[in-house]
Structure 1
Amino acid sequence: MQGTILHMLRETPGGFVSGEAMCQACGVSRTAIWKHIKDLQDAGYQIEAVRNKGYRLVESPDLVTAAEIREGLQTTLIGQSIIYRESLDSTNTLAQQMANQGAPEGTVVIADEQTSGRGRRGRQWFSPPHSGIWMSLILRPELPLAHAAQITLVAAVALCQALSRATGVKAGIKWPNDILFNGKKCCGILTEMHAEFDQIHHLVVGIGINVNIPQADFPDELQSIATSLQAIRGEKLARAEVVRTVLEEFEPLYRRYVNNGGFGSLRDAWKANNITLGNRIVAHTARGDIEGKALDIDEFGVLLMEKDNGEQEKIYSADITVFV
């Protein structure tokens, strides 16, 4: 209902919407409308109330609630169900629980704060409150288990395109899934899976984006390797708008991934956005460091590299250092 009220206020920018019109649209009393207006004001919305005129939206806070994200969202699957929490230990943890309870495909779990955000290889993700996008997507692709890990590369393409749009500055993908601006990471992806035998029950794609974090606010150990959309663009961004951009970029790529049986049809899009191929790299693997030149990725997203001795190596999982 609050979403309906906000939509009506935004449809009349600078003007007033009568309480009676809201009552008719929501099917409730004037008292109920007043209570919802009060709740919105408590949440940070500046709403002016004038007798015999109605209500006028003066300013909106930078929130990532379901109502804010749905406003203008142009998707038919991803984000049609949104679960918002002010604070969570990890959006992936709640998303896994919701998926196990039957949450529909496309459900988005999002929080204003993560107290124990996770990155790849168990690293903690720096996620201060009210400044970033910390969300997880629940997916149920009908694909063989072997294709499950490729969803991370699909998400990387979507995020690279979305964040480039949001900032007006070209982002790049460092294999397999880090999104960088000018060599500094602003976005990470963590995919977790529940499957049995050769059947995927669900995937949870966790996404962390540094949005409105001033560069000076990053811890000293992250200053040289991390950045935010605000630092790149030079001004704050509306986080809900960035979320909508990400979901709208992701949905068509996800459909291609499912309909074409895996990552192969998106390989060229990944390569067009990457900053890894053609450069000298060090692959930090469980077997030790491997140095050489990044040559290509195959249709499964495996990194192909040429070692210094001329031998070719397939890298399935590793942290990568790129020397540009």
Structure 2
Amino acid sequence: MSGKGSQEEILRLFRRKGGDYLSGEEISQGLGVSRTAVWKHIRQLRDQGYTIEAVPSKGYRLAEAPDRLLPAEIQAGLETQRIGREVVYFEETDSTNLRAHELGAGGYPDGTVIIADRQSAGKGRLGRRWASPEGVNLYTSVLLRPDILPFMAPQLTFLSAVAVARAIGEASGLQPRVKWPNDVLLSGKKVAGLLNEMHAETEGIHYVILGIGVNLNMRPEQFPGDLRYPATSVAIEKGSTVSRTGFARCLYREIDRLYERYLAEGVAPIIREWEGLCDLVGRQVEVDCQQRIIRGLVTGLDEDGALLVRTAEGTEERILAGDVRPMKGE
């Protein structure tokens, strides 16, 4: 077992003890390593920020864990059906979505989670850059293998949005809203972005990737100065920081519940919940579709996730892509 794997296994042993002492002999036998190796791994965990007490004749006790997005921390008490049963962690990578594509092609199972503490090339919709500083936010991708046709894949963006909104509400007590097609807002500012991608052929999907970036503890000075849309973080709006590991567990549980429901009932109940979180339904908007501008009243979403807008002429437009802005005075 690698040093990193041994440390994660020690953390799992601590979690099973529930705060009680764990003897060096128990750790040694559990890992199949010497007592000297156990001490080395304990020292390395301490260097990473874990507070581990050592008492003669009692052993070791995990007193406090840092807010690090390690697999053992994420999976502690996760209790999901599919999501997060496999967790792949990177201290730094270019993009969790790119890593998810590699794992998807490599046969990783439905529900695999990819997490990075920092991204060097995080991306948003239409190739836009997603600022990804270390130690403050959640950058994650979830690999899914649903038995659906390719045209249905965009529906999963709304599953992501509802899951993120639920998790933010549970973690902070705040009331997030959603913006079509793939943003989550707090106080009218972007707090999370979603980028879903897929690998498919005409007859079916090989896998779908739910790319999710959530600004959790980002400070105002960490935001780029060239943002196209006002941004915020959960900590800014709440007035205090939130646990990244606690938030991640909450998010994966919500994705798990919604994914199970989606597979059993389809997208309709998720669309209804998304509409309840969207402030644009029933409002006059302007949609920039690049080739043309559409103005009208948002009436909701179609079953495939298209935005429905009724124009002044009485026609109902189905919009699959575009930037939406409320009309002035709305």
What is the TM-score when the length of structure 1 is the normalising length? Answer: 0.93
Q: Residues 15 and 76 of structure 2 are in contact (CA less than 8 Å); yes or no, is this contact kept in structure 1?
A: no
Q: 1:223 to 1:13 in 2, by over 3 A?
A: farther
Shift of 1:64: 0.6
Q: Distance in 2 between matches of 1:45 and 1:169?
A: 30
Partner of residue 86, structure 1: 91
Say whether 1:34 aligns with 2:7: no
Partner of residue 168, structure 2: 163
Q: Residues 44 and 61 of structure 1 are in contact (CA less than 8 Å); yes or no, is this contact kept in structure 2?
A: yes
Partner of residue 315, structure 1: 319
Structure 2: which amino acid aligns with 1:142?
D
Structure 1: which amino acid aligns with 2:125?
R
Partner of residue 254, structure 1: 259
Shift of 1:110: 0.8
Residue 233 (structure 1) aligned to one of 226, 234, 238:
238
Q: 1:223 to 1:147 in 2, by over 3 A?
A: closer
Partner of residue 242, structure 1: 247
Structure 1: which amino acid aligns with 2:297?
K
Partner of residue 153, structure 1: 158
Shift of 1:292: 1.9
Shift of 1:280: 1.9
Q: 1:209 to 1:49 in 2, by over 3 A?
A: same
Q: Distance in 2 between matches of 1:127 and 1:246?
A: 18
* Deviation digits for residues 152-193 of structure 1 (CA, Å, limit 9, x no counterpart): 111111111111111101111111221001100111110111
Structure 2: which amino acid aligns with 1:245?
C
Q: Residues 167 and 232 of structure 1 are in contact (CA less than 8 Å); yes or no, is this contact kept in structure 2?
A: no
What is the TM-score when the length of structure 2 is the normalising length? Answer: 0.91
Partner of residue 299, structure 1: 303
Q: Distance in 2 between matches of 1:49 and 1:232?
A: 40
Structure 2: which amino acid aligns with 1:56?
R
Q: Distance in 1 between matches of 2:15 and 2:83?
A: 23
Shift of 1:3: 3.5
Partner of residue 200, structure 2: 195
Residue 58 (structure 2) aligned to one of 53, 59, 62:
53
Q: Distance in 1 between matches of 2:153 and 2:16?
A: 41
- Structure 2 residue runs without a partner (length 5+): 1-5
Shift of 1:23: 3.0
Shift of 1:234: 1.3
Give the SS at the match of 1:79.
coil
Say whether 1:269 aligns with 2:273: yes
Structure 1: which amino acid aligns with 2:226?
E
Q: How does 1:114-133 map to 2 (within 5 A)?
A: 114-133=119-138
Q: Residues 263 and 301 of structure 1 are in contact (CA less than 8 Å); yes or no, is this contact kept in structure 2?
A: no
Shift of 1:134: 0.6
Q: Residues 311 and 317 of structure 2 are in contact (CA less than 8 Å); yes or no, is this contact kept in structure 1?
A: yes
Q: Distance in 2 between matches of 1:31 and 1:152?
A: 49
CA RMSD of aligned residues (A): 2.0
Say whether 1:139 aligns with 2:136: no
Q: Distance in 1 between matches of 2:301 and 2:280?
A: 10
Structure 2: which amino acid aligns with 1:22?
I
Give the SS at the match of 2:60.
strand
| Identical pairs, percent | 41
Q: How does 1:68-79 map to 2 (within 5 A)?
A: 68-79=73-84
